[in-house]
Every structure is written in C-alpha cells, then in structure tokens.
Amino acid sequence: MTVMICGSLAYDTVMVFDGRFKEHILPDRIHMLSVAFLVPQLRRNYGGVAGNIAFNLGLLGVKSQVLATVGDDFDPYETWMRRRGLSTEYVRRIADTYTAQAFITTDLDDNQITAFHPGAMQHSGELDVPVGAGIALALVGPDSRDGMIRHAEQFAAAGIPFIFDVGQGLPMFSGAELARFIEQASWVIVNDYEGQLIQDRTGLAPEAIAARCRAYVVTRGGEGSRIYADGALTEIPAVRAERVVDPTGCGDAYRAGFIYGLTRGFDWPTTGRLASLIGAIKVAHHGTQSHHFTLAEIGERFHTAFGYRF
C-alpha cells in the first residue's frame, strides 16, 4: 500500500528561549508589541509536515510518496530523504525560489512562536495528484491554499480516501470551505486549538464533524487525544515521554502512527495508542527527523505502555 502525503517540505530553524513568553509579553500591550528573545540554542532541521510524516512512516515500514514543491536550495534535503529511502518522485523544483522556511521559537512551557516563509510551496496548486500511481490512502496537510483545495478535490473525485490535516493552513479558509473539506475527507485530524476554531467557523460540534467522515481526531498534547467515530468517543491516553526536549513535529509523528493503524486495519483504541506512542518518542528528541526506532522496538514499547500487542 502506498500513501501519498501532500504538504510542505521545509527547513526548520528552531530556537529555544530559556524562559517563558508570558513573562515578557504584556497582555495590555500586544497592540504595540516590541519584544526580543535571547535564544542560546539554535538548530537548522529538515522539516515540513509532508517530510516529517514521510520520515516517520519510513521508520514504520510504510511506503509513501510526497507531493510538494521546493526551491533551488533543496539539494541537502533531497540527499537526506534519499539516504533514508524516501522517494522524491513527485517533488517538483520551482526555479528562483526558496524551499519553505520555518523559524520557530519555543519557550520552557512548550509554547511556540513561528514565522513561516512559504517560498516554493506557494506553487503547490500547480501539481496534480497522480491518481493512477497506486495511491491507496493520502493526507492533505498544510500547504498553499490552492494546493490544498485542488488536491482534496482530486482525491475525492478519484475515490482515494484521505486525511484532512488543516494545521497552520486554517486561517486561509472560511467556515464553508472547511465544511467542504470535512465532507470530502475520510478522516479529519486537528489539535485542540484548531478543532475549536473549526467548530466555531463551521458551527459543527465534534459529533457532527465525525458524522460527515469516518473519524474526527482531536489531539490534546499531554492530555492525550480523542477519536470521534462510529457514533462513539474513544479517549486515548497520552504516553509519558522519556524526557520532554522538543515538541516540534509531535503532531506529525502522531499522524504517521495513525496512518499506520489505518493501513493495518487496527481498531480505534489501538490506532490512537500507537499514534500517541510515536508522538511521545519524537518529543524526547531535538528536531523533527532525528529520532529512530524499528517496528519491533515499537511493538515492545507499545506492549509495555498498554499491556497488549498490536
């Protein structure tokens, strides 16, 4: 089974502020904000939603294809992907552009402030989904507005089930457009903040969203996640991380675990627990693609955490 991931490939510049934003941002002055943070730690990582999910799927042994647009500076990232057995067949270079760039500052409470330059990603709407390439399952993640709309429509028209993961792309869409994505998708995954915004804009409660697709999944960080499906709510517990180092990319790791569960036909409790475990493994490492595990190791850690085997 081949999974297609539509979304960003990006360079992430991650900075860690050794303090808390709330101690430096005055609520009554945010209309005239001027603040600087000293960031002793800085790293440049390979990232982007599509790249991160594909990386984790590779560790799980799931074949994937990335549909994305990149810039002239993509060579190092391409080499990284190929060394890890990840395909770049459907990655297109756009001349005279940069690959998307994220500049992420994280504080001690795991809050994040991100500046994002889309670069070549703005051209993703020029790509067509290769509907004849044996794609059995897909994900439409944060990308250009045109790209997300186009690829969702093409997957739906081709009868290819897909996950809608709006992420940072949420501000680009109206309530009606978000409702359309929900109708087209087979599964919808959001974090709790995104979920509240979607519910506010569409006027749909979680149960109503779930009724329009196969499952509506809301991740809640250290409080676990919720899967609304089949007329029921499944509460998924969080997995305690060995250490909390960097939350960036945890949601993408969760999604890879969720996709693995879908491809194997797992029930919702097992699928959610596996996704939670992959996210917890990621949070213990700097960067979004620096952790490593084998499927056998995941099986043992799952058994230790939950008392049964998948």
- Give the model's pLDDT for residue 52: 97
- Give the model's pLDDT for residue 276: 97
The pLDDT tens digits for 187-196 are 999 999 999 9
Q: Per-residue pLDDT for 157 more than 80? A: yes
Mean pLDDT of 214-225: 95
Look at strands 112-117 and 232-236 and give their pairing.
unpaired
Cα dihedral 246→249→254→256 (10° resolution): -140
Percent of the chain with pLDDT over 90: 81
Compute the distance between CA of residue 151 and CA of residue 139 in angstroms, rounded to an integer. Answer: 9
Q: Per-residue pLDDT for 29 more than 80? A: no
- Give the model's pLDDT for residue 67: 98
Q: Per-residue pLDDT for 14 more than 90? A: no
- Give the model's pLDDT for residue 109: 85
20-34, 99-113, 141-155: range with lowest mean pLDDT:
20-34
The pLDDT tens digits for 82-106 are 999 999 999 999 999 999 998 989 8
- Give the model's pLDDT for residue 244: 86
Tokens describing residue 14? 């991650």
Compute the distance between CA of residue 234 and CA of residue 217 in angstroms, rounded to an integer. Answer: 9
> Domain 2-7+48-91+122-306: what homologous superfamily?
Ribokinase (3.40.1190.20)
Whole-number average pLDDT of the chain: 94
Q: Binning pLDDT at 50, 70 and 90, where does residue 120 land? A: very high
Compute the distance between CA of residue 256 and CA of residue 144 in angstroms, rounded to an integer. Answer: 21
Q: Per-residue pLDDT for 31 more than 90? A: no
135: β partners: 2
pTM of the complete model: 0.91
Residues 6+ apart with CB under 8 A from 168: 114, 116, 142
70 touches 92 (CB < 8 A): yes
Mean pLDDT of 282-301: 93
Compute the distance between CA of residue 53 and CA of residue 75 in angstroms, rounded to an integer. Answer: 20
- Give the model's pLDDT for residue 23: 87
Q: Per-residue pLDDT for 108 more than 90? A: no
The residue extents of the domains of the chain are 2-7+48-91+122-306
Look at strands 91-93 and 100-106 and give their pairing.
unpaired
Q: Per-residue pLDDT for 168 more than 80? A: yes
